[in-house]
C-alpha cells in the first residue's frame, strides 16, 4: 500500500478522557447557566470607589468645587471601571452579535480617547514626575498580571492564590488612587487639608474595597475556590531521617505536576523531607503553615466564609458609627456608612451567589435536557453501557444510599434541607442519587473518575460535588473530605 500506517499514539501516563464528552458538557453548561454575571455587584463596586474618591476630594477642598481636579477625577473613574471595560473587551472577542461587538468597540474607543485626553492634560499641567505617578498603576498591573501571577504553575492552587492576590493588589491600587493621586495633583498649592482625615479615609477604603472585590471574585469562581481550599492539605517535617531508610523507592522531589499527594506520601523539598498529613495535599511543603491554615479555614466552608465577611463588614460599620458620634467630621463618616451598610445588606440577603448561596440545580430539567439521542462512548475498550457494574457505588445508584453524592464526610446530615423545592437537588436527594447517577454512569463518567488523572477528578469534583454534597444523609466511604475519590494508591504512581 502507498499509504503508510498511521503512527500509534504515545502511551499517556493517565487514562485518556473521551474527546466528545457530550453529557458532561451539558451538565457543566447547565451549572454555568444557574448563575449569571454579577452586573449589579460590578457596578456597585465601581460606584463605591467613585464615592470614596469624591469624599477624598471633599476632604481636601470641601465644597469649593473650583479646587477639584476634574481631569483626575474622570481619569480615576475610568480606571476604577477597568473590570467592566475588560468584560466588554471579551465580548468583542467572543460574541457572535455584530451589533453588540460594534457598540462595545465604540464604548471602549471613547473611554480610551477620554482617558488619553485627561492624562495629557494632567501631564501638561505638572512635571515629568507627575506622569510617573499616573503611569505607576498601569506599570504595576502589567507586572502583576504578566509576571507575578504567571509564576504560579500549580493548577490545583493557582485560581485560589491568584484570587486572593488580586483582591489584595486591587485594594492597594484603589488606596493609591484615592490616598496619593488627589494629594499629588492639587489644583492650587495653597490648599490646606487635614492629612489625618485623608489617611483614615484611605484605610477604610482599602479594607472595604478588599471585601467588596473578594465577594465579586468568589462569585466569579464559585465552587472552584471551595474545592481548592479543601485540597490544600498539610505537611509535617520529618526531622528523624532514620525513618526513611526503609522507604523504597527513595522520596522524590516535590512537584506541582504530581499533585495531589495522598496522605502518608513522603517527598523531599529544599533538602528536607515532609510527610503528607491530609487526605489530599496540593500546597507546597515549604509553604508557611500560618498562611495555609487560615486560608483553608476561611474558605473551606461557604457559610463560614459568608459569616466572616458579614462580621468584617459589621466591624467596619461599628467603627464608622463610633466616628460619626465622636468626630467633628461626622458628616463624612456618615456618608461612608451608606456603601458599607449597603454592602452588608447585599451580602446578607442576596438570594443567589455562586459561592455563598449557589442557585439550585434542577435535576429533572437537566435530565430532560439530556434525553437526547447520543452515541455510547468507549473508554479503554469498555462501552458506557457497562459502567453500572464498575464497582463505583457513588454513581451507580444501585444498592447505595441516594445521599452518596456527599462530598463532606465529616458533616452531619441536614434535617431541613430545601424541602420546599422538590425539583432541586437539595430538596430531592433520592432523585440525585438515582436518576442523575444513572445519567452520568451512562456517559462514562464513572470510568473516568476511576482513572488516576487527578486534574480531571478535581474538575469533575469542583463542578458537581459542591452542589450535591450538602444533601447527602449518608456519606460514601469512597469519598474523602474534599469530594474526590480516595484513590490514594494510584493517584501517585511513583509512591
Question: pLDDT per residue over 247-274, tens digit each?
Answer: 667 888 898 888 889 988 889 888 888 9
d(CA 468, CA 456): 18
Per-residue pLDDT at 454: 46
Per-residue pLDDT at 154: 85
CB 178 within 8 A of CB 50: no
CB 370 within 8 A of CB 23: yes
Segment 411-416 long-range contacts (CB within 8 Å, at least 24 positions apart)? 411/470, 413/472, 413/473, 413/474, 414/470, 414/471
- Comparison of pLDDT for 409 and 181, the residue scoring more: 181
d(CA 44, CA 373): 45
CB 24 within 8 A of CB 377: no
Question: Percentage of residues in the chain with pLDDT exceeding 70?
Answer: 64
Residue 378 has pLDDT above 90, yes or no: no
Tens-place pLDDT, residues 184-223: 998 887 788 888 899 999 999 999 999 999 999 998 888 7
Residue 336 has pLDDT above 50, yes or no: yes
CB 133 within 8 A of CB 179: no
Per the prediction, the chain carries an average pLDDT of: 74
Q: Which helix (H) or strand (E) holds 375?
A: none
What is the mean predicted confidence (pLDDT) over 323-347? Answer: 92
Lowest-confidence pick of 104-108, 165-169, 363-367, 371-375: 371-375
What is the mean predicted confidence (pLDDT) over 450-458? Answer: 45
Let me know if 340 is exposed, middle or buried by CB neighbors in 10 A (0-12, 13-18, 19+).
buried
φ/ψ (deg, to 5) at 375? -70, 155
DSSP 436: I
CB 24 within 8 A of CB 443: yes
Per-residue pLDDT at 153: 81
Residue 122's CB is within 10 A of a number of other CB atoms, namely: 20
What's the Cα-to-Cα distance from 91 to each of 78, 84, 98, 104, rounded to whole Å? 18, 11, 10, 7
DSSP 35: S
CB 314 within 8 A of CB 300: no
For residue 253, list its beta bridge partners. Answer: 268
Q: Which helix (H) or strand (E) holds 248?
A: none
- 3-class state of residue 424 by DSSP: strand
Report pTM.
0.69
**Angle at 368 (CA atoms; ends 365, 370), nearest 5 degrees:** 115
459: which residues sit within 8 A by CB, 6+ positions away? none
The radius of gyration of the chain from alpha carbons, rounded to an integer in Å, stands at: 27
CB 100 within 8 A of CB 219: no
Per-residue pLDDT at 438: 47
d(CA 219, CA 353): 6
- How many residues does the structure list for the chain? 495
CA 137 to chain centre: 23
Strands (E), 218-307: 235-237, 261-262, 266-269, 272-276, 280-281
d(CA 340, CA 347): 11
Amino acid at each position: 500500500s502507498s499509504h503508510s500506517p498511521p503512527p500509534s499514539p504515545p502511551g499517556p501516563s493517565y487514562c485518556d478522557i473521551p474527546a466528545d464528552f457530550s453529557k458532561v458538557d451539558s451538565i457543566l453548561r447547565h451549572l454555568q447557566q444557574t448563575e449569571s454575571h454579577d452586573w449589579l455587584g460590578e457596578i456597585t463596586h465601581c460606584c463605591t470607589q467613585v464615592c470614596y474618591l469624591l469624599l477624598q476630594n471633599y476632604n481636601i477642598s470641601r465644597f469649593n468645587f473650583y479646587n477639584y481636579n476634574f481631569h483626575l477625577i474622570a481619569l480615576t473613574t475610568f480606571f476604577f471601571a477597568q473590570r467592566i471595560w475588560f468584560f466588554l473587551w471579551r465580548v468583542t472577542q467572543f460574541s457572535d452579535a455584530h451589533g453588540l461587538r460594534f457598540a462595545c468597540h465604540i464604548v471602549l474607543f471613547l473611554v480610551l480617547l477620554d482617558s488619553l485626553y485627561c492624562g495629557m492634560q494632567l501631564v501638561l499641567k505638572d512635571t515629568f514626575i507627575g506622569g510617573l505617578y499616573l503611569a505607576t498603576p498601569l506599570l504595576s498591573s502589567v507586572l502583576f498580571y504578566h509576571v507575578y501571577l504567571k509564576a504560579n504553575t500549580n493548577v490545583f492552587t493557582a485560581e485560589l492564590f491568584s484570587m486572593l492576590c488580586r483582591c489584595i493588589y486591587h485594594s492597594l491600587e484603589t488606596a493609591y488612587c484615592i490616598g496619593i493621586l488627589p494629594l499629588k495633583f492639587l489644583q492650587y498649592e495653597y490648599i490646606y487639608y487635614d492629612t489625618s482625615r485623608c489617611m483614615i479615609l484611605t484605610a477604610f477604603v482599602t479594607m472595604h474595597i478588599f471585601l467588596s472585590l473578594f465577594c465579586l471574585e468568589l462569585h466569579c469562581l464559585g465552587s472552584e475556590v471551595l474545592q481548592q481550599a479543601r485540597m490544600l492539605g498539610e505537611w509535617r517535617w520529618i526531622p528523624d531521617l532514620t525513618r526513611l531508610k526503609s522507604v523504597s523507592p527513595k522520596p522524590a522531589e516535590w512537584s506541582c505536576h504530581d499533585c495531589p499527594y495522598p496522605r502518608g506520601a513522603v517527598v523531599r523539598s529544599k533538602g528536607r523531607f515532609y510527610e503528607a498529613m491530609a487526605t489530599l495535599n496540593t500546597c507546597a511543603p515549604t509553604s508557611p503553615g500560618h498562611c495555609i491554615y487560615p486560608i483553608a479555614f476561611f474558605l473551606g466552608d461557604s457559610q463560614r466564609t459568608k459569616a466572616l465577611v458579614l462580621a468584617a463588614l459589621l466591624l467596619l460599620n461599628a467603627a464608622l458609627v463610633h466616628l460619626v458620634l465622636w468626630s467633628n467630621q461626622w458628616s463624612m463618616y456618615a456618608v461612608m456608612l451608606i456603601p458599607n451598610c449597603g454592602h452588608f445588606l447585599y451580602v446578607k440577603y442576596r438570594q443567589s451567589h455562586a459561592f455563598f448561596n449557589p442557585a439550585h440545580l434542577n435535576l429533572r430539567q437537566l435530565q430532560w435536557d439530556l434525553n437526547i439521542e447520543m452515541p455510547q462512548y468507549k473508554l479503554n475498550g469498555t462501552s458506557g453501557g457497562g459502567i453500572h457494574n464498575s464497582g463505583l457505588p457513588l454513581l451507580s445508584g444501585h444498592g447505595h444510599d441516594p445521599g452518596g453524592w456527599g462530598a463532606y464526610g465529616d458533616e452531619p446530615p441536614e434535617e431541613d434541607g430545601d424541602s420546599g423545592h422538590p425539583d432541586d437537588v437539595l430538596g430531592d436527594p433520592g432523585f440525585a442519587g438515582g436518576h442523575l447517577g444513572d445519567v452520568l454512569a451512562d456517559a462514562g463518567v464513572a470510568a473516568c473518575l476511576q482513572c488516576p488523572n487527578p486534574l480531571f477528578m478535581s474538575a469533575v469534583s469542583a463542578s458537581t460535588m459542591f452542589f450535591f454534597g450538602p444533601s447527602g444523609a449518608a456519606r460514601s466511604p469512597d469519598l474523602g473530605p474534599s469530594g474526590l475519590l480516595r484513590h490514594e494508591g494510584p493517584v501517585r504512581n511513583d509512591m
